[in-house]
Structure 1
Amino acid sequence: MKLLRSSLLGSAAAFAAVGAAHAADLPVKKAVPIEYVRICTAYGAGFFYIPGTDTCIRLSGRARFEGGYQTAYTRQFGQGGDTAGYRGLARINVDARTQTGYGTLRAFLRIEVASRTGGPYGGGTSGTQQRIAQAFPGLGVDQFGRSQMYVNADKAFVQFAGITAGRASSFFDFYAHDFEFTAATAGSDIASTNLLAYTATLGNGFSATLSVEDPVFRRSGLFSPTVNANAVATNAAVANFGITSSPIPVITGYNAAGFPSRFNFVDGIEKSRLPDFVGALRYDSAWGSAQLSAAVHELNANNVQNNVLGFVPGAGLGTAATAANGSQLAFPHTRTDYGWAVQGGLKVNAPFIAPGDTFYLQAAYGEGAQLYTGYSSYSGGYIQNSATIQGQKFQQYFADATVNPITGQIQKSNSFTVSAAYLHYWAPEWRSAVFGSYGEMDFGAGARAAQGLVFNVINPNNSFAANGIGLPGTRFYQLSQALRDTYQFVAGANLIWSPVKDLDIGVEGLYTQIGVQRGRVIDLDKDPTAYSRVAAINAGGLVRTATNDGVSQVRIRVQRDF
């Protein structure tokens, strides 16, 4: 037994020795070295190398709360009473850069998401952003028009060897409401557009850019008297266009007495064909910047309808033309025209007043290019008539052009804006800005009269909606709001406290006034039934009128950047 135990112990020892010898022959697996994030100093603070690459990246963002109050002048049935609005916004920025033999290769992304509530024009929601699918409305009874989720791919572009490609700020823009909460001053600033551009550095601070840009975000459209503010056809003869079109009536025949007797409709929805062409010459130095920019913008329309519509005196348009309607004219296609705009901007750094002080001055003029001058910045774009103020006395019109119903050709509108802003630092943690703008919108000579004539012919007995113009020469025509030349004045100021770096707590107030340049218009707030009393008004009946309207707004903001 003792011998057996000794043998087993000896065998175990032998196996252990053999196992140890084999283990000593196996390679030892070393731990993977830890690769720490390295700071990248080539492009400024906040950049670090993406592990395993030579690309530097910076992550940043913003969180913001805003609350706003805007005066309202009406509680008419279904038309408002909202005065307050609120917004919470989140922004994420990603900036990636790599040094190459051709210079820096950069990609930049900015995503914004916001929840906005409040009345349609009380500082909360935005019809402008909803029209271009960047904001989506709530559908509840109390939420519709008062609650939006705003989702925007604000920036997504690549820069390489002078090329900028993607979604970026338009190279036409300059001031872009840099010092304002509300962005209410008149001026070109569409936030971002899709573009392909090349910038050449000329030396001594000068650079020149040629940019091919998406035209969709710069269209105010062609005026149509046959649609209402929601773009719904109001005449059965044009219902086949659907609710998103702009059918424009044109005269295509006259009877023996020389009276218009045949009509067709032009499809006024502009199609995407040519891009906008933008050029900019810029100068940057220690004292500030200066820029001169210009843009060309295509205006186009499709052919007239194939069917001919006959006019029946006293009854309006018939479904078909008859011999009594006279002969059909050979109607020319509406020729493509081109809008254009020019802008000059000046930025002056004023450290001799206080460190950080800056002054902006900008002016723009355009024909057939209203969104380049930014006249509708406060009221809202992508709609031909707007009433931003609750209880607004009259609506403003923003069409880039009209189609003359007699010749069938485009008549361009023109607009101009001038804006200025000054930022002053009272102390390192206190700053404020004052800003203001003035602008005018003018329609082509004779355009208002021509549209009034054709619209009243095809809508007998004055059976038209609120955007009807009225028959030229009548009292109602003189008081109508449609296609009136208007002006707009904005003035405001803000005060911001930054108790710690990248934290802003501020308040802003502003006043906006709109008015007609000549004559008077019907006051829709004090006389909301006026458009149903056309005959009485033409006969000299009582009607309330106005020449201008104004509104005040206050906003507070709490914002943290990181």
Structure 2
Amino acid sequence: MKLVQSLLLGSVAGLTFIAGAQAADLPAKKAAPIDYVRVCSTYGTGFFYIPGTETCLRVGGRVRAEYLYSEPIERTDDAVGFYVRGRVQLDARTATAYGLLRSVVRFEITRRSGTPLNGVDGTITTSPQVAEAFVQFGGLTAGRVISFFSDGDLPTEHFGTLRFDDAPDVDLLAYTFTFGNGFSATLSIEDGLERRQNDFIAGGFAAVPLAFAGQRAPDLVGNLKYEGTWGGAQLSGAVHQIRSVALINPATGPVIFGPGIAGTVPDTDYGFAAAAYLHANLPTIAPGDAMWLAATYTNGALAYMNGGNSALNVDPFNALVVNGGLGLVDAFINPITGDIKRGHGWSIAGGFRHYWTPSIRQSVFGSYMRVEYGRGASSVTPAGFVVGLTDFNEWRLGSNIIWSPVSGLDLGLEVIYARVDPRGRVFIPATGLVFGQESGVEGRLRVQRDF
């Protein structure tokens, strides 16, 4: 029995030795390398290194829901509206020997319903868009981003429209010169198609609508800017091309012009705009408190004071009067001479933000706008009504209060009062309406989550 046990143990030991020797001859399988995601603190919170690269990436987004009340004038008007927007944003940054290389893509999908959208009630729209997509390399900026005419550093926090260039996104190609100590200057060529303003009153008997011809030159924009610990200031200027097609109305045939005018093409004209911005931090009142001011003058480029909007009224309450009776146009055709006549105006806007507590803040804001068209833009009927483009002023005053119970969540309520004062009683032939001073109230409830 002992002999059998000795033979079995010896056999097992031998087999184990042979298997071990054979296994030693096989190639060893290495564990797969693990590439951990590293936090990138160079550019602030939320950035991480894309594995295998030295590029830092931040993934962010926003969900915004608004519920709007706009005072109705007629029975057909929608008094309430709904607004929902979803945003996804990617921000990639890489340090290079030539300076920072940055790329940003921001997609937004917006759905609106109710309240007048572009003057139409009962409308539901869904608009996916590339809100921003740009590359920055050193001083170069190319793509779609906030216009350099605007000052994107203003501490504004209003939901509705105010009359200044409120940080619109446009297509551009720009270069920024940095001088140090907070000073910089930028020269930018920007898409003038997004700055065309021609909300003309249909049926006017005096001024003739200008039908824009093709763009031959982009808008030329420049600014001089300073940013410091106390706040900042900026001076901006823009030149805007105005071109008309032949003086023929495709819908009604030749317009009645003076002798020899119909069928001619007016000379190309150029409008311009200038603006000054100022903002100041006020930590002595409360941490986070700030004030801002924006003053704008436009001549033939009225979109530069139209609340950051282009010719389309992207804000439901952006109408100049609640029943849509006044026009905001870059230029019109004088029916006597056939020349392009520019509209001009100026605006001033400002606001103050105060933190009552670290989680509750309030803003008070307002704007005033004056628009003038001059001779040939309007006429007076025998009944004493003004027909055509009339001079007017508009002012807006509002306030909101925002509660942020947790980081990234805003619950806000805002009220804006707007009033338009035209010169005289304005008659709109297309609708048969006659009106004078008009006013309206808008209320918004906003729920917003940023991440």
Q: Where on the TM-score scale, by shorter chain, does this alignment land: which range?
A: 0.7 to 0.9
The one-letter code of the counterpart of 1:57 is: L
Answer whether contact 2:203 2:428 (CA < 8 A) is retained.
no
Could you say what secondary structure the match of 1:396 adopts? coil
Aligned partner (choices 433, 441, 446) of residue 557 of structure 1: 446
The structure 1 residue matched to 2:382, chosen from 451, 456, 475, is 475
* Match of residue 306, structure 2, among 364, 374, 384: 374
Contact between 1:340 and 1:367, CA under 8 Å: does it hold in 2? yes
Residue pairs, 1:331-480, within 5 angstroms = 333-374=265-306, 381-382=311-312, 392=322, 395-449=325-379, 474-476=381-383, 478-480=384-386
**Could you tell me how far apart the structure 2 residues matched to 1:499 and 1:523 are?**
49
Q: 2:409 aligns with which of 503, 507, 519?
A: 503
Query: What do you get for the CA RMSD once the two structures are aligned?
Result: 3.6
Q: Which runs of 5+ in 2 are unaligned?
A: 1-9
After TM superposition, the structure 1 = structure 2 runs for residues 2-401 of structure 1, keeping only pairs within 5 Å, are 21-75=21-75, 79-80=76-77, 82-119=78-115, 121=116, 126-127=117-118, 145-174=122-151, 179-189=156-166, 191-221=168-198, 268-304=211-247, 333-374=265-306, 381-382=311-312, 392=322, 395-401=325-331
Whole-angstrom distance in 2 between the partners of 1:211 and 1:15: 81
- Alignment coverage as a number of residue pairs: 437
Map Cα deviations across residues 191-220 of structure 1 (whole Å, 9 max, x no partner).
200000000011221100000101111001
DSSP 3-state at the match of 1:187: coil
AA at the equivalent of 1:270: A
Q: Contact 1:165/1:196 (CA < 8 Å) preserved in 2?
A: yes
* CA deviation after TM superposition for structure 1 residue 390, in Å: 12
- CA 1:108 to 1:409, structure 2 compared with 1: closer, same or farther past 3 Å? same
SS at match of 1:127: coil
Tell me, yes or no, if the aligned pair for 2:204 and 2:387 is still in contact at 8 Å.
no
Q: CA deviation at 1:420?
A: 0.6
Counterpart contact for 2:155–2:291, Cα < 8 Å: no
Rounded Cα–Cα distance in structure 1 between residues aligned with 2:153 and 2:336: 40
Q: CA deviation at 1:19?
A: 6.8
Change (3 A) 1:409 1:43: same
Residue 44 of structure 2: SS of its match in structure 1?
coil
Q: Distance in 2 between matches of 1:343 and 1:433?
A: 23
Look up the match of 2:399. 493
**Contact 1:492–1:509 (CA under 8 A) maintained in structure 2:** yes
Q: How far did 1:227 drift?
A: 9.5
Q: Which AA in structure 1 matches 2:398?
A: G
Cα distance change of structure 1 residues 51 and 375 upon mapping to structure 2, 3 Å threshold: closer
Distance in 1 separating the partners of 2:408 and 2:157: 17
Q: CA deviation at 1:283?
A: 0.6
Cα distance in 2 between the residues matched to 1:447 and 1:330: 18
Q: Which amino acid aligns with 1:127?
A: N
Partner of residue 6, structure 2: none
Q: Which ranges in structure 1 are unaligned for 5 or more consecutive residues?
A: 1-9, 131-143, 229-247, 250-265, 318-325, 450-471, 532-544
SS of equivalent to 1:355: coil
Amino acid at match of 1:411: K
Q: Residues 406-453 of structure 1, C-alpha deviation per residue, up to 9 Å, x if partnerless? A: 32221111011100111000110110000000001111322324xxxx
Q: Which amino acid aligns with 1:296?
A: V
Instruction: Please report how far the alpha carbon of residue 549 of structure 1 lies from its aligned counterpart in structure 2 after TM superposition.
Output: 0.6
Structure 1 pair 552–33 and aligned structure 2 pair: CA distance change class (3 A)? same
Name the CA distance, whole Å, in 2 between partners of 1:329 and 1:53: 65
Question: Match of 2:401, SS?
Answer: strand
**C-alpha separation between the residues in 1 aligned to 2:280 and 2:249?**
58
Residue of structure 2 in register with 1:258 after alignment: none
Determine which of 425, 428, 433 is the counterpart of 1:520. Answer: 425
Change in 2 beyond 3 A, CA 1:267/1:15: farther
Q: 1:151 to 1:414 in 2, by over 3 A?
A: same
Residue identity (%): 40
Change (3 A) 1:496 1:529: closer
Give the direction of change, closer, same or farther, for the CA distance of 1:330–1:560 in structure 2 (3 Å limit). Answer: closer
When residues 520 and 148 of structure 1 are mapped into structure 2, their CA distance, relative to the original with a 3 A threshold, is same
Q: How far apart are the structure 1 equivalents of 2:210 and 2:276?
A: 35
Q: Is the 8 A contact 1:222 1:269 kept in 2?
A: no
How far off its partner does 1:303 sit?
3.4
- Flag the 1:479–1:177 CA change in 2: closer, same or farther, 3 A: farther
Where 2:378 maps in the other structure, the secondary structure is: helix
Q: Which amino acid aligns with 1:432?
A: Q
Shift of 1:23: 3.8
Separation of aligned partners in 1, 2:276 and 2:321? 36
Q: Judging changes above 3 Å, is the alpha-carbon distance between structure 1 residues 21 and 284 closer, same or farther for their aligned structure 2 residues? A: same
> What is the alpha-carbon distance in structure 1 between the residues aligned to residue 324 and residue 85 of structure 2?
32
Q: Distance between the aligned counterparts of 1:304 and 1:88, measured in 2?
A: 42
- Contact 1:104/1:160 (8 A) holds in 2: yes
Structure 2 distance, partners of 1:87, 1:147, is 10
Per-residue CA distance 1:492-527 (angstroms, 9 max, x = gap)? 0001111122211111111011120x2222499xxx
More strand by share: 2
Cα shift at 1:63:
1.6
Structure 1 residue 152: deviation in Å? 2.2
Equivalent pair of 1:223/1:403 in contact (CA under 8 Å): no
CA contact (8 A) 1:375 1:441 kept: no
**Contact in 2 for aligned 1:72/1:390 (Cα 8 Å):** no
